[in-house]
Structure 1
Amino acid sequence: MTQHKPAGHNAVSPYLLVKDVKAMLAFLSATFDVVEIYKMALPDGSIKHAEVKIDDSVVMLGERPDSRDPVVCSPHVYVPSADVCYGKALAAGATNISEPKDQPYGDRSAGIRDPEGNIWWIGTHLAKA
């Protein structure tokens, strides 16, 4: 039977269009401990396309042609510890949007802006008593 998506991919994956894929890969690795699954480099050393895994999800990356501004997005990622991930993101160059705090909808969450301008929402679902 033919599969309609590659093995290990979810049906929906964010595709970040950034100025510098190498720098974004370093940021994602430092923040989320990603696993790099694919990278297509061009002869000039730039990266045309890359794919990383954060937990069970694939994030795709590409560089904007002709140095155009990146397309800013706002992904949400569930992580084992919002506090730890938030600290790692700040150490990797992110800026604070919202410090980790317990939310009324049952998550502990935080928000950060990465060096490319994307806003990441980081959450850990809290067990109900």
Structure 2
Amino acid sequence: MPKHKPAGHPAVSPYLLVADARAMLDFLAATFGARELYRKTREDGSIMHAEVQIDDSVVMLGERPERAAAICGSVHVYVPDVDACHARGLVAGATSVSPPTDQPYGDRTAGLRDAEGNLWWIGTHLAG
């Protein structure tokens, strides 16, 4: 096992700086079935750092300082059923950027924008 990274962590993980980490954790769980791996809170109860697992990947996040400007990211996630994931994301408070659509490169894709402004590109690779 490599010693340069924690067990179960990929070499590259998105890190989101958000205003409301609890809401983001709820969104990730509802939309992607994310499982929380770790949470470190500050004395005031805000979340300094959290990690969730989505399939074989880890997404890290933390609450940005109150006066810090919003930093939006863009993340691609392969999911078993893009249509179902897109629908769950809408129920969890995201807005649709792109409805589920078959693409000429062999994926069915969709896009969501979460309440923080991050873009979540979701896809299911079609057989063939």
Q: Which runs of 5+ in 1 are unaligned?
A: none
Distance 1:4 1:14 in 2: 18
Distance 1:70 1:81 in 2: 30
DSSP 3-state at the match of 1:85 = helix
1:93 aligns with 2:93: yes
Task: State the aligned residue count.
Answer: 128
TM-score (norm 2): 0.97
Percent of counterpart pairs with the same letter? Answer: 65
1:7 aligns with 2:7: yes
Q: Which runs of 5+ in 2 are unaligned?
A: none
Distance 1:46 1:69 in 2: 17
Structure 1 window deviating more from structure 2 (45-54 vs 58-67): it is 58-67
TM-score (norm 1): 0.96
Asked whether the 8 Å contact 2:97–2:113 carries over to 1, the reply is yes
How many angstroms does 1:71 deviate by? 1.1
Deviations 1:35-58 (A, max 9, x none): 100000112110000000000000
Distance 2:24 2:48 in 1: 13
DSSP 3-state at the match of 2:40 = strand
- 1:3–1:85 CA distance, 2 compared to 1 (3 A): same
Distance 2:110 2:88 in 1: 12
1:61 aligns with 2:57: no
Residue in structure 2 matched with residue 72 of structure 1 by the alignment: 72
